[in-house]
Structure 1
Amino acid sequence: MPFVSNLLRSGTALAVIALAAQPAQAQTDDVGVEILQLLVDEGVIPLEKAQQLLDRAKKAAELRAQREAPKTSSTIDVPYVPEAVRNQIRDQVKAEVIAEAETKRWIAPNKMPGWLDRITLSGDFRLRYQANLFSDTNFPQFPDVNAIVQAGGSPRNDFPLLNSTINRYMLRYRARLGVEAKITDQVKVGFRLASGDNPGPVSTNETLGDFFQKDGIYIDRAFVELSPLEQVTLVGGRMPNPFVSTDMVWDTDINPEGVAAKLSYQFGEETLNTRLFLTGGWFPLQERELDPYDRNLVAGQAGVEFEPAEKLKLTVAGAYYDFRNVQGIRNAPDGSRLNDFTAPLFLSQGNSLFDLRTDGVTSLPGLASKFELVAGTGSIAYSGFGDIGVRLTGEYVHNIGFNRAEIAARRVGEPASVPPENYGYQVRLDVGHDKIAKLGDWQLGVGYKRIGTDAVLDIFTDSDFGLGGTDVKGYLIEGQLGVFTNTAIGVNWYSTKSINRAPFDVDVLQINLTSGF
């Protein structure tokens, strides 16, 4: 009967619920067991089904009993930990793990890999406006001797001219990027790239105004430096200038190529913090496979640096520069060109020249003088005004290889030339901060130069003063002011006149924006 069947099924469900709700110990005597037995007897459910219901109910009761059982000695209590304490524990563990990871170079959060600690990057960018302002009384027919040399000679009656009368206004830039890697405590490697209009030895300026053509990049430095002893440094390659000098002998952009050795010994305070230094080097200037007279420079310098009083430092150095085989050799009278190779790779303006050619049709200039220079450089610096320093620098150079009679003999048969001179000097005063590092830092320099015709090689002297070269005298004013971190605005003014040649007077104005790292 449906009603009875429904009642019996309801009874089965109630029996199971009753079994699950009772304590495990009382379930064997529970009336629910009797109900299940009655249902089996009446044939409502099979015996197997009843046993399954009974086993399931017992397991549920046992699990509930375990949850409600009292704690024993093996029970572990986990106390409540406040959030602040949990954060403190977390931060402490994190710091300990990071410290060990950094020490063992597993990982360094927000840091470069360890090998980069030995690498130093540097660079700078300078944007410059430059005005070359020529005198109206300048001689208009100066031959552009560097252009003639670069062309391998020119017709005698149609040679290129140097601009000496038309003012020039330019926008230029200089960009440099360098890297130095400390391989070990005794070995360092340096490399630097720089911009430039040409691969010449001095200027790294790039002049804008070529219909947006891409600009060239040159290797400005590439050298290795060894320090086998604390007092000894050996350098090879294209290196920073190893000599103490001013820009009268060496333009500040010069990076000699060759090998050099530097020795230095530092005494203690009881001897005025005296430091003795000695530098020597050999520098190839021009190497040719079939030329038995390779051009090279052999140079040496000795000097001393000491502090006669607190915050007062004196530096004195004497140098010897022997530029070997740079003098030209005239070709044979038959008009041959076998000695054209003795022409220099580059020329500026000012040095005594003569014509290597004898054909009567073309001309190729060569250097008429030898260059064996003796230079004395000295400076006195005072740093007793806080961040402001004062430095007075002087340099005198004398070309002892100069021979007036020899120069005249090489010029036999040529038109009258500029009377040669073999000495030069410079005096300069600098005041201000050592470098422009922040807003308000400043530097100011004033100076006077007089560079005789053959006092130095004209291709290596300052390329800004008189637009480069020798046979020039005048004064200079340079200044710059920090406007941001490592960023400065500067103004330079060079006013120069020729000494012995035809009038060549020029004022050079430069306005710079420089930033570096």
Structure 2
Amino acid sequence: MVMAPIVGLWQTPAQAQTPANDDVTVELIQLLVESGVLKKEQASALLQRAQARAAQAAQAQPAAQSDTVTAQPGDVRVPYVPTTVRKEIEKNVKDDMLAQAKAENWAQPNTFPDWVSRITLEGDVRVRDESRLYDSRNSNELIDFAAFNRDGPVPTIVANQANPFDFKYLNTRKDRRNLWRYRARLGVKADVSDNWRAGIRLASGSDNNPVSTSDTFGDGMSKKDIWLDNAWISWQAAPWATFTAGRASSPFMATDMLFADDLQFDGISAQLAQNTSENPLALFGNLGMYALDFSHNPWRAESGTEGESENKWLMGAQVGAHWQLNEDNRLTGALAYYRFDNVEGHRSSACTVFSASDGCDSDWSRPAFMQKGNTLFLLRDIRQWSSDPNDWNEWQYVGLASKFDLLDLNLAWETALFDNLDLRLDGNYIRNLAYDKDEMIRRAGGIDNIVTNAEGSTQSGTADVKSGPNAWMMQATFGRGIALAQQGNWRLFTGYKYIQPDALPDGFNDSSFHQGGTNARGYFLGGAYAFDKHLWGQASWSSSREVYGAPLSIDVIRVDLNAQF
């Protein structure tokens, strides 16, 4: 902000033609205004104080006659001030400025270390009331295969008899009402240099699963766990290109039908994007390579080694565009390809196990994390060591029957309606290009080894796998300020999801809808309201059931209070 020139300040009659801003104090005040340190109102207050003291001095000592200086519009005229009064005013002005500077913490720029100015803190807290409601007609014989692998190997046969007693089953009929849950995250970002940044974030969570950082209150009011959720370094090579290495948020445009909102990606990413403010049609692209599991087998006594294993990777590439049709309409589209490398299970070579501590050569191929829905098969081809059937035991793991190479299409249309209302429509279609039912059966070593999504029997010739490679979702969001960036903003949303069992890996998507995973279809709806700029509430309901197989209907109701800082 620039002040108007100040004419006549501190002038003697002989100095009437001398520019007033030659005076050191006036220059100092004007420079402080120009640099933004002082506001114009503050400078005016200082000048008014000077005028008042000058008037007092004028009464004590008549001002000498001088030629009149022609005033310009916006100029301020102050009578002549004697030297003694001027020095006193200078001292008072300096004292006032120093006092204000100390109060506003700009007088001592080196008070804090340099690194403080390069650090940004951010975080959020969510408190939730959640109810999980199950249909009483649901099957009560659905095995929890995530726990089967996590706690395994599990004895599926004991003394030549099928063993259901060590299996863990999914809760399918007992409602869980009013679970009080929370999520807390705290992150630090640092500007290492002009083009380099680094960040870390801590988050809550009931365990180390990748798709949720929520935890449940209670448990005797015990203290809660904290996990490392983010750790990354990024380099902005150009205004349109950023590269990130470490554990960071997803760079891809994707819905929670494929990747949960809380999911973080371990690896390297590249984000390329044109400036949307300068281009009505702006292109963007994302690339990434991420580590899913550095797998290994247990040490095997019979071979004296761990044996061979394969690391598991996710590789993704996406291209898209933002198109600003006009002031009120905007289209966004993106097409992505994701390759999940080595995530499918491998049937082992013939192996003999004497106890749960023994391993087989394909144990490494079991999923590192899973929810439910994918087609699974028994990994171990176990050969019994005894000729007596009473000695026959079988400890097993399960693996994914399908490979996953995904084509992912996302479209979004945003439009401004009447009365400052907005509408956004989203669509998402996913197809697993690697889905092959016959290949899945061969990979399992026969349909008899498939333990989910299989129907019929080999004896009757009706055995078949009930699955599919497709998933799609549609969502409509309506409201005022859909992003909830200001107090009073609100939104309503509704949508539908349809996910066939092997359309995508079941371990990485939203853990709320159908309690996570695939083989699910149903509706969801909800609304949110911003109580303040960084405080909002949301209520949502989803109702889902299976696509194929045994009946499993689940309703989930959530009421959230969110705070962000």
AA aligned to 1:105 is P
Percent identity between matched residues is: 32
Tell me how far 1:366 sits from its aligned partner: 0.5
Give the alignment of 1:100-139 within 5 angstroms.
Answer: 102=106, 105-107=109-111, 114-139=114-139
Whole-Å separation in 1 of the counterparts to 2:373 and 2:497: 15
Residue deviations 1:326-359 (CA, integer Å, cap 9, x gap) = 1111123344522111111111110010011333
Tell me, yes or no, if structure 1 residue 173 matches structure 2 residue 182: yes
Whole-Å separation in 1 of the counterparts to 2:225 and 2:247: 19
For 1:455, the equivalent position in structure 2 comes to: 503
AA aligned to 2:331 is L
Whether contact under 8 Å (1:105, 1:114) holds in the other structure is no
Tell me how far 1:95 sits from its aligned partner: 5.8
For 1:273, the equivalent position in structure 2 comes to: 280
For 1:436, the equivalent position in structure 2 comes to: 484
Match of 2:95 among 90, 102, 111: 90
Whole-Å separation in 1 of the counterparts to 2:98 and 2:232: 47
Tell me, yes or no, if structure 1 residue 482 matches structure 2 residue 515: no
Whole-Å separation in 2 of the counterparts to 1:219 and 1:407: 37
Please say which of residues 126-135 and 375-384 is displaced more in the overlay. 375-384
Residue deviations 1:424-458 (CA, integer Å, cap 9, x gap) = 00001112324334542212211100011011111
Q: What CA RMSD, in Å, does the superposition of the two structures yield over aligned residues? A: 2.7
For 1:295, the equivalent position in structure 2 comes to: 312
Whether contact under 8 Å (1:194, 1:218) holds in the other structure is yes
Whole-Å separation in 2 of the counterparts to 1:256 and 1:248: 16
Whole-Å separation in 1 of the counterparts to 2:266 and 2:257: 19
Tell me how far 1:265 sits from its aligned partner: 2.7
Tell me how far 1:515 sits from its aligned partner: 1.0
Tell me, yes or no, if structure 1 residue 413 matches structure 2 residue 458: no
Match of 1:223 among 218, 232, 236: 232
Whole-Å separation in 1 of the counterparts to 2:261 and 2:255: 8
1:136 and 1:440, CA in 2 relative to 1: closer, same or farther beyond 3 A?
A: same
For 1:344, the equivalent position in structure 2 comes to: 367
Structure 2: unaligned runs, 5 residues or longer? 1-81, 157-162, 297-305, 354-359, 383-392, 456-464
Match of 1:370 among 388, 403, 412: 403
Whether contact under 8 Å (2:313, 2:341) holds in the other structure is yes
Whether contact under 8 Å (1:154, 1:364) holds in the other structure is yes
Whether contact under 8 Å (2:187, 2:199) holds in the other structure is yes
Give the alignment of 1:148-227 within 5 angstroms.
Answer: 148-156=148-156, 157=163, 158=165, 159-169=167-177, 170-227=179-236
Whole-Å separation in 1 of the counterparts to 2:270 and 2:101: 48
Tell me how far 1:385 sits from its aligned partner: 5.2
Whole-Å separation in 2 of the counterparts to 1:362 and 1:202: 29
AA aligned to 1:376 is L
Whole-Å separation in 2 of the counterparts to 1:332 and 1:250: 34
Tell me how far 1:154 sits from its aligned partner: 1.4
Whole-Å separation in 1 of the counterparts to 2:274 and 2:91: 59
Give the alignment of 1:248-287 within 5 angstroms.
Answer: 248-266=257-275, 273-287=280-294
Match of 2:344 among 327, 342, 346: 327
For 2:76, the equivalent position in structure 1 comes to: none
Whole-Å separation in 2 of the counterparts to 1:376 and 1:349: 24
Whether contact under 8 Å (2:370, 2:506) holds in the other structure is yes
AA aligned to 1:117 is S
1:106 and 1:268, CA in 2 relative to 1: closer, same or farther beyond 3 A?
A: closer
Tell me how far 1:153 sits from its aligned partner: 2.1
Tell me how far 1:303 sits from its aligned partner: 0.8
Q: Rg: which structure is higher?
A: 1
Which has the larger helix fraction?
Answer: 1
Whole-Å separation in 2 of the counterparts to 1:229 and 1:373: 30
1:267 and 1:413, CA in 2 relative to 1: closer, same or farther beyond 3 A?
A: closer
Whether contact under 8 Å (1:489, 1:514) holds in the other structure is yes
Q: Secondary structure at the match of 1:297?
A: strand
Whole-Å separation in 1 of the counterparts to 2:132 and 2:524: 14
Whole-Å separation in 2 of the counterparts to 1:379 and 1:275: 15
1:94 and 1:365, CA in 2 relative to 1: closer, same or farther beyond 3 A?
A: same
Whole-Å separation in 1 of the counterparts to 2:381 and 2:101: 84
Q: Secondary structure at the match of 1:361?
A: strand
Tell me how far 1:200 sits from its aligned partner: 0.7
Give the alignment of 1:56-95 within 5 angstroms.
Answer: 87-88=92-93, 90-92=95-97
1:80 and 1:190, CA in 2 relative to 1: closer, same or farther beyond 3 A?
A: closer
1:347 and 1:85, CA in 2 relative to 1: closer, same or farther beyond 3 A?
A: closer
Structure 1: unaligned runs, 5 residues or longer? 1-76
AA aligned to 1:288 is S
Instruction: Using structure 1 for the length normalisation, give the TM-score.
Output: 0.78
